[in-house]
Amino acid sequence: MSRLSLYNRKRDFAVTPEPAGRIVKSAGPKRRFVIQRHAATRLHYDLRLELNGVYKSWAVTKVPSLDPATKRLAVEVEDHPVEYGTFEGTIPQGEYGGGTVQLWDRGTWTSQSAGDPERDLKRGNLKVCFDGKRMKGGWALIRLRDKDSGFRRNPRHNWLLIKENDEQAHPGEPEALASEVTSVKSGRTLEEIASRSRSVWHSNRAEGAATREVELSKERAAAKPKPVSRKATPAWAAPKKAVAPAKKKLRS
């Protein structure tokens, strides 16, 4: 099964301009990473690490913390195509992932382990070094005990994102990055992206039903008989009634 099967199943590419799932070839030990600040139902941060041709992805519930004592919950989600990492714009409300997406950070990452990072992920302990604009230095992703989300084929994996105690750490300042609210791509805030963005992605969550409803409306309109124009006929144009001739009286 393709690493992007779940991503593809969630989207109908006949109606959405989102990039179709495509695995690309990764080059070298330095791999790309992005963090997209996502104002959906709840504001969160989508962490994406390039690995084996896709973006391994987590939804981090709060801004990453530079305080090694502060752990952030990171919920594993489906792998995304690498093309997804350049997106900044708005997904319409009511659709899958509806909300505004901001490119909050980007750069490269390397594994701090001598082994295969894919193997470290499977073991639930991945240590990385970020070289981004905001995310720098050593970090660890530690998997917690799996919690079944109700779908046996897709168990939900919860992880912890933890800053290592190095030169880039800010002990005692858990919200040091909370003041960073602009895009590293456009310099815009979420509000500015929402109000001025021309990039609007559509998913298939409600698109099919909405499209069918439009089609049905057109069909009903076409089938409805057109009203017959009945203009008042002027008196001079009305046909005159035939008048029977008067009978002559006979004289006795």
Residue 245 placed within a domain: no
Using a pLDDT cut of 70, give the percent of the chain over it.
65
SS3 for 152? coil
Dihedral sign from CA coordinates of 207, 209, 215, 217 = negative
Residue 139 lies in domain = 5-210
- In this prediction the pTM is 0.73
Distance CA 140, CA 162 (A): 5
Q: Do residues 65 and 163 make contact, with C-beta atoms less than 8 angstroms apart?
A: yes
In this predicted structure, what is the pLDDT of residue 252? Answer: 43
Residue 240 placed within a domain: no
The more confident residue out of 68 and 25 is 68
In this predicted structure, what is the pLDDT of residue 212? Answer: 37
Residue 181 placed within a domain: yes
**Nearest-10 Cα torsion for 91, 71, 142, 88:** 20
Residue 214 corresponds to which tokens in the numbers above? 């439009």
Residue 119 placed within a domain: yes
Distance CA 220, CA 211 (A): 14
Residue 219 placed within a domain: no
In this predicted structure, what is the pLDDT of residue 199? Answer: 65
Residue 226 placed within a domain: no
Q: How is residue 134 annotated by DSSP? A: S
- Residue of 208, 214, 203, 211 lying closest to 92 (CA atoms): 203
Residue 130 placed within a domain: yes
The number of distinct structural domains making up the chain is 1
pLDDT tens sequence across 38-61: 999 999 999 999 998 899 999 999
In this predicted structure, what is the pLDDT of residue 155? Answer: 59
Q: What angle do CA 175, 177, 183 make, to 5 degrees?
A: 145
Average pLDDT, the chain: 79
The more confident residue out of 183 and 23 is 183
In this predicted structure, what is the pLDDT of residue 149? Answer: 45
Residue 88 placed within a domain: yes
pLDDT tens sequence across 79-98: 999 988 998 988 877 666 78
Rounded to whole angstroms, what are the CA distances from 99 to 77, 156, 198? 17, 23, 14
Residues 6+ apart with CB under 8 A from 141: 58, 74, 121, 125, 126, 127, 128, 159, 160, 161, 162
pLDDT tens sequence across 101-149: 999 999 999 999 888 899 999 999 999 999 999 999 999 999 998 654 4
Q: What angle do CA 67, 88, 22 make, to 5 degrees?
A: 100
Helices (H) and strands (E) in the chain, counts: 4, 9
pLDDT at residue 226 above 80?
A: no
pLDDT at residue 76 above 50?
A: yes
pLDDT tens sequence across 178-223: 999 999 999 999 999 999 866 666 554 443 334 334 443 444 455 4
| Helix-strand-coil split of the chain, %, nearest 5 | 15, 30, 55
In this predicted structure, what is the pLDDT of residue 9? Answer: 75
In this predicted structure, what is the pLDDT of residue 105? Answer: 98
Using a pLDDT cut of 90, give the percent of the chain over it.
50
